[in-house]
A = this chain, B = another copy of it.
Amino acid sequence: MLYPGKVKDDYKKAISYKNRGMKLENLINITNEYYIANDIALIYKKPTPILVVKVDYKKKLISEGYYKTPSTLDYNGIYKGKYVDFDAKETLNKTAFPLANLHEHQLLHMERVIKQGGISFLIIKINGLYFLLDGNIIIDFINNNKRKSIPFDFIKEKGIQIKEGIMPALDYIKVIDEYYFKEENL
């Protein structure tokens, strides 16, 4: 209000940032809808956590709220009886995936999922390509590196590419099958 020009720019920035984030998120959301409709898997995006400060119960209106930092990953559910828990991350960086994108709580959550016998990974969009990178590989990388980012070459080597398609839009279950259910497929 005080600096309308500034606000507009920030707003634009926020919108473009949001759209950037949304693209991969939307691909996954419509893929999940496809999986649910076809009884393939049951995976949902968790709602974004919001701290609600003021509510007008009469109007059912939240008039003051703030986004909270999530302490878990965005997606979870079940596939072939297995617990699946992951997040989708997008970077415009062409040479590496900055680890600042992954909060410490989220990393700890990944470790816990794996410890409980679940499957955890990231879907990373980098250079216009999509990769599934397993949680164990990410945890190992962080424990054995002082780097603040995972190089693109490493992701290409250790991750599995997920191809964009029509139905489903981003068939990451196919990649889960290849990577986590290999023995069953033999």
Evaluate contact between B41 and A116: CB separation under 8 angstroms: yes
Contact B14 A57 (CB under 8 A): yes
By DSSP majority rule, is chain A's interface helix, strand, loop, or mixed? mixed
Q: Which residues of B contact A113 (CB under 8 A)?
A: 42, 78
How many chain A residues touch B (Cβ–Cβ < 8 Å)?
Answer: 46
Q: A36-B112, A64-B61 are in contact. Are A80 and B117 (CB under 8 A)?
A: yes
Tell me if A72 is interfacial: C-beta within 8 Å of chain B. yes
Q: How far is the CA of A7 from the CA of B57 in the complex (A)?
A: 8
- Quick check: B62 and A44 within 8 Å, CB to CB? no
Q: Which of A115-141 contact B (CB under 8 A)?
A: 115-118
Query: Which one, A48-56, A89-97, A171-179, is touching chain B?
Result: A48-56
Instruction: Tell me if B76 and A76 are in contact (CB < 8 A).
Output: yes
Which residue of B48, B66, B76 is within 8 Å of A61 (Cβ)? B66
The 10 closest A-B pairs by CB, nearest first: A81-B117, A62-B65, A14-B57, A47-B49, A78-B83, A47-B47, A78-B116, A83-B83, A78-B118, A42-B116
